[in-house]
Amino acid sequence: MRTIMKYVRYGRTASFVSVLAFGAMTLGEKNRWKLGGVTQELSDRMVKAAFDAGINLYDTADVYDEGDSEIMLGKSIKPYRDQVMIATKVRGRTGNGINESGLSRHHMSIAIRKSLERLNTKWIDIYQYHGWDLHGEFDEFLSTMDHFVDSGYVMYPAVSNFTAWQMATLQAMAVERGYARYESAQMNYSLLNRDIEYEVLPLMKYWSMTLLSWSPLHGGVLTGKYKRGEKPASGTRMGDRGFFFPYFDEVHGWDIVDEVRNIAQEQGCTMSQVALAWIVSKGHVAIIGARNMEQLQENLESVNVNLKKEQIERLDRISENREIYPNWMVKRQNGDRNFEIVS
The reply to whether omega before 246 is within 30° of 0 (cis) is yes
Q: Is-contact 198 321, C-beta < 8 A?
A: yes
Specify the pTM. Answer: 0.95
Give one DSSP letter per residue of 237-282, joined into a string: HHHHHTS-SS---HHHHHHHHHHHHHHHHHHTS-HHHHHHHHHHHT
- Cα 46 to Cα 81, 295, 320: the distances in Å are 15, 10, 34
Question: From the CB of residue 131, how many other CB atoms can be counted at a distance below 10 Å?
Answer: 17
Give one DSSP letter per residue of 102-127, joined into a string: SS-HHHHHHHHHHHHHHHT-S-EEEE
In the predicted structure, residue 2 carries a pLDDT above the cut 90: no
Type of residue found at 315: L
Give the pLDDT of residue 241. Answer: 66
How far apart CA 111 and CA 103 sit, in angstroms, is 10
Cα 236 from chain centre:
21
Give the pLDDT of residue 339. Answer: 87
Give the pLDDT of residue 111. Answer: 98
For range 284-306, the mean pLDDT: 97
pLDDT in tens, 118-160: 999 999 999 999 999 999 999 999 999 999 999 999 999 999 9
Considering only CA atoms, which of 208, 265, 257, 201 is closest in space to residue 228? 257
Confidence grade of residue 343 (pLDDT, cut at 50, 70, 90)? low
Type of residue found at 269: C
CATH superfamily of 14-336: NADP-dependent oxidoreductase domain (3.20.20.100)
Phi then psi for residue 212, to 5 deg, are -105, 110
Cα 271 from chain centre:
19
Query: For the chain, what is the mean pLDDT?
Result: 95
Q: Tell which wins on pLDDT, 3 or 194.
A: 194
Give the pLDDT of residue 233. Answer: 74
DSSP alpha helix (H) spans, 151-242 = 164-177, 200-206, 237-241
Active site residues: 64
Give the pLDDT of residue 66. Answer: 96
pLDDT in tens, 216-241: 999 999 999 998 888 777 767 666 66
In the predicted structure, residue 245 carries a pLDDT above the cut 90: no
Query: 233-244 burial, b for 16+ CB within 10 Å, e for fewer?
Result: eeeebbbeeeeb
Report domain extents, the chain. 14-336
Confidence grade of residue 31 (pLDDT, cut at 50, 70, 90)? confident
